[in-house]
Amino acid sequence: MSEEQTLELLIGPQHPGSGHMRLVAEMDGDVILNFEPNIGYVHRAVEKIAETKTYVQIIPLVERTSLPDTANHNLGYVLALERLLGIDAPLRAQYLRILLAEINRIHSHLYGMGIHGNMIGSTTMLMWAFGDREPFIELAQRLTGARLSYSYIIPGGVRRDLPQDFRNDALKALSYMERRLKDYDRIFVHNPVTLARLKGVGVINRIDAARIGVVGPNLRASGIAYDVRKIEPYCIYPDLDFEVVVRDEGDAHARLLVRIGEIEQSISMIRQILGKIPDGSILADRYLDLVPSRTRFEKRSSVKFPALFSGLKPSKGEAVSRVEASRGELFHYLVSDGSTHPYRFRIVTPSFKNLIAFKHALLGQKLADIPAVYGSLDYFPPEADR
Amino acid sequence: MTRVLLTKQNGLSITVDASKILETAHLLKNLKFDHVISVTATDYPEENRIDVIYHVSSFEDLELAKTILEIRTTVSRQEPNIHTLVAVWPSIEFLERETTDLMGINFGGREAMARLLLPEDFEGEPPLRKSYTIRTEGIDA
Amino acid sequence: MNVVEQLLQILLSPTIIIPLIFPGLLTTFLVIIFIAWFERKLTAKVQLRYGPLYVLKSLGGLPQLVADLLKFLFTEIIIPKGSDKKAFILSPIFLFTLSMLPVVAIPLSNSYAAFFSDLSLLLVLALLTITPIFMLLLGWSSNNKFSFIGSLRDGYLMMAYEIPMFVSILAMAVAYDTLDLVQVVGRQSSGLWGIALNPLAAITFFVAMLMTTARFPFDVAEAESELVIGPYTEYSGIIFVLCLGASYAKLSVLSLFFAEVFLGGWNPLIWPLTLNPILPGVAVFVKGLLVMGLCVFMRSIYPRFRIDQVLKLGWHTLFVLSVASVALSLGIVWVLGF
């Protein structure tokens, strides 16, 4: 192929379809010969900032890496920190953590589906999905007091107890979502145009998926039943009955269907959690004893960050944690030198692992497939850049 | 392989010499460790070393997937050179590029790559090293 | 006095009124305002939103487009350095004018048209086929890769819709045995409208019409997530409005055309009512607006096809359909002996 026959197309960072990144596509006519994502436009050096913050200050910081998926990022970090500290959260707190994590997974998947819909031109899917995130964001707000940046999960427990009327509203939201999923199916998921756009597009086969190390729904859409919630179950996942949604096609449509399957699984998990959440404390006894006004805490059933957290000093050592965030496996690695700040903090976010899929899934595809595949990967640039 | 350790969370940690990293990777790849979860470099300026830590696991073998294997190796701060593993584990590509950017580790044996996370024209101390001075803005400045 | 009278006579003559006022520029402008509002309002309804609301709340935000237009009027027109300036400025003007022009050949009653021709059926379409040339020029002169790809896609699209469109109209010409729109409407006075006479041709023409006017799911030339806004990427201010207006003007013209060929034109109005062009004109416009409404409704149902899929659809399905519609027409003529 001689130089003159190809066209180098720079998509982004100022482009409605690129997100905070630059996509460099080498085109031969309408066919992509080479594809290189260029990221870093929203790099905020979270790992470096973390070295200057106390352990508890890092909780809101890690949430900033991925705003649609804060609960899982919060959880992943706190699990690593708890391993360093050597404490466990009480059972009720564990249930509440997973409750929030699954609520978050639903609205994060809806976010991804909405963007995906918009990218292939279905503004209806965008508006519906974003509209239907609202009940879940509201639920999370009831539980945590915040719409997106919850900072709900703290070392040794959670910040607030389940509100009084939460259960009924949650069940209402869940059955609403189940109805809506049927609507989505008709207008978008099995719309003939969607099928034409997504079927067989951006295929990552099983072998490639493992080789290039994509994670999350993208991996499971390629036929690998890898889900951290099953492989290395954390919190109360062993007690919950759920399936790992797997599809074998590996194309953009399979990735969409896996996300929808996961929303269904999350709905069922939230029902189970609401059904069997045990009574008890929401903060580990070790910290509860140190909370100055224990009686007030019990009356208000919420934890005001106790001053002791600001001086949290884990012993020297290292801890890793992995959780299944909405976009895939989220890895935290924490090195402590015994001071109040981590010596080294490493996050590998699912979007960063999925970045490589762009290079592989788009080769030989058409120009118009770039947004179709981009959306199907549910790639979130700020999460990748950290 | 110089040291094998069992970590707290049913993980395994092995320490190898930086020159042996490629062989180790090949060996592990044959044991079905098929992808890299993370590449972490940790700077220890007092001891004049940078630890490069690989976390690898498996997707193909879901039993093996329950383990995160840690491969630790050390390079010097002045000559932070180590062989690339991109030929063994393609999934390491962006992780290595990120580490080059932020920690200044040179992964030999792969073609020179443009900067990934930092601006193209970034110069000076790699930002994640401890010797990097953080410039603050606003009221702290 | 005499001069003024003469001037008035010239101004009120059909050759001026038709292109400028009814059904020309002014009416089309009003129709565009309405249909753009209707599109947004309808899409908003489907998508659980309000849509335009605050510009005259009592009318539900109907004059929103007027407000947008005023805003665009005062927006600086930026002409990129590397562009071909003359072509860059002139091609949207030509594009819009040519999209509007076919309106002169569309009669609104037996005696009301700016340009009577016994070939008006072909004339309308023939005038519209010139517009893609300016679309290409527009993309080329912008000197932007996205504009260029967008206008190329528009050129390709033309390949997909043009032939089925002409062939389906040919089918109707065979069925009606005329190329004159006035007669076409006359033939439908029996109550057997074109859409019932030859539904294949109607479907083909409708889909081709969606392609021509870049409605969803054939919005490939302007595909926002791929090409920013396709050929118009570098445009700003009032010339950008002309670009956008051109596709609506085309939609309006083609919908009127569809109403005349397939929906019976000013039928079922009969002789004494058709003397004054207002009433039959309104009838045609109402039918046209219904067609337009259906076209813009596609936005809330369908995502966007890929260009190769559109071409495939054009050649594999539409073309075959259009040929079948000609066969159907021949059959009809043979059986009914029109």
Tens-digit pLDDT profile for residues C137-157: 888 888 888 888 888 888 888
Nearest chain C residue to A9 by CA: give it. C145
Domain ranges across chain C? 84-336
pLDDT tens, C290-314? 999 998 888 888 888 888 888 888 8
What the block records as the tokens of C187 is: 């033939």
Strands A157-158, A342-348: pairing is unpaired
Nearest to B18 by CA among B110, B80, B100: B80
Residues in chain A predicted with pLDDT less than 50, given as ranges, are 1
Contact between B66 and A209 using a beta-carbon 8 Å cutoff: no
Q: Which residues of A touch B43 (CB under 8 A)?
A: 344
Between C129 and A293, where is the model more confident?
C129
pLDDT at A299: 62
Q: β-pairing, B69-76 with B12-15?
A: parallel
The CATH number of residue B51's host domain is 3.30.460.80
Q: Quick one: pLDDT at residue A302?
A: 67
On the question of pLDDT at C80 being above 50, the answer is yes
Average pLDDT on C207-222 reads: 85
CB C225 to CB A17 under 8 A? Answer: yes
According to CATH, the superfamily of the domain at A3-385 is Cytochrome-c3 Hydrogenase, chain B (1.10.645.10)
B37/A348 CB distance under 8 A: yes
Residues 6+ apart with CB under 8 A from A195: A253
- Contact A177/C at CB under 8 A: no
Q: Does B14 touch chain A (CB under 8 A)?
A: no
Query: Which chain C residue's Cα is nearest to A23?
Result: C226
What's the pLDDT tens digit per position in B89-135? 888 888 888 888 888 888 887 777 778 888 888 888 888 888 887 77
Pair of tokens at residue C4? 């003024």
Question: What residues in A contact B118, CB-CB < 8 Å?
Answer: 40, 43
Token pair of A226, please?
């890898």
User: Per-residue confidence at C271, pLDDT binned at 50, 70, 90?
Assistant: low
What ipTM score was computed for the predicted complex, to two decimals?
0.85
Please give the pLDDT value at position A292.
Answer: 64
Closest partner residue to A210 (CB to CB) among B42, B60, B119 is B60
Give the pLDDT confidence score for residue B10 in this predicted structure: 58
The label of the residue with tokens 């700077």 reads: B43
Window 77-106 of B, Cβ < 8 Å to A:
89-95, 98, 102
pLDDT in tens, C40-72: 888 898 888 888 888 888 888 888 888 888 998
| Tokens 């004339």 -> residue | C123
Query: Per the CB < 8 Å rule, is B55 touching A385?
Result: no
**Does residue B62 form part of some domain?**
yes
Tell me, what's the pLDDT at A294?
58
Is the Cβ of A320 closer than 8 Å to some Cβ of chain B?
Answer: yes
C48–A127 C-beta distance less than 8 A: yes
Say whether pLDDT at C219 is over 60: yes
Res. C176: pLDDT tops 60? yes
Q: Which residues of B touch A35 (CB under 8 A)?
A: none
pLDDT of residue A263: 92
Determine, yes or no, domain membership for B140: no
Mean pLDDT, chain C, as a whole number?
Answer: 84
pLDDT at position A1 is 45
Residue B1, pLDDT score: 55
Distance from CA of C325 to the nearest CA of A (A): 24
- In angstroms, what CA-CA distances link C262 with A126, A209, A261, A338, C104? 35, 53, 45, 82, 19
Q: Which residues of C touch A15 (CB under 8 A)?
A: 228
Among C27, C218, C195, residue whose Cα is nearest residue C112: C27
Q: Are A291 and A283 in contact (CB under 8 A)?
A: yes
Tell which of B32, B36, B40 to mutate to test the A interface (max A CBs under 10 Å).
B40
Tally of domains within chain B: 1
Q: Please judge whether C228 and A369 are an interchain contact, meaning their C-beta atoms are less than 8 angstroms apart.
A: no
Distances (CA, A) of C210 to A274, C106, C214, C215: 50, 20, 6, 5
Instruction: Assess if residue B45 is contained within a domain.
Output: yes
Interchain CB distance below 8 Å, A356 and B90: yes
The chain B residue lying nearest A333, using CA atoms, is B40
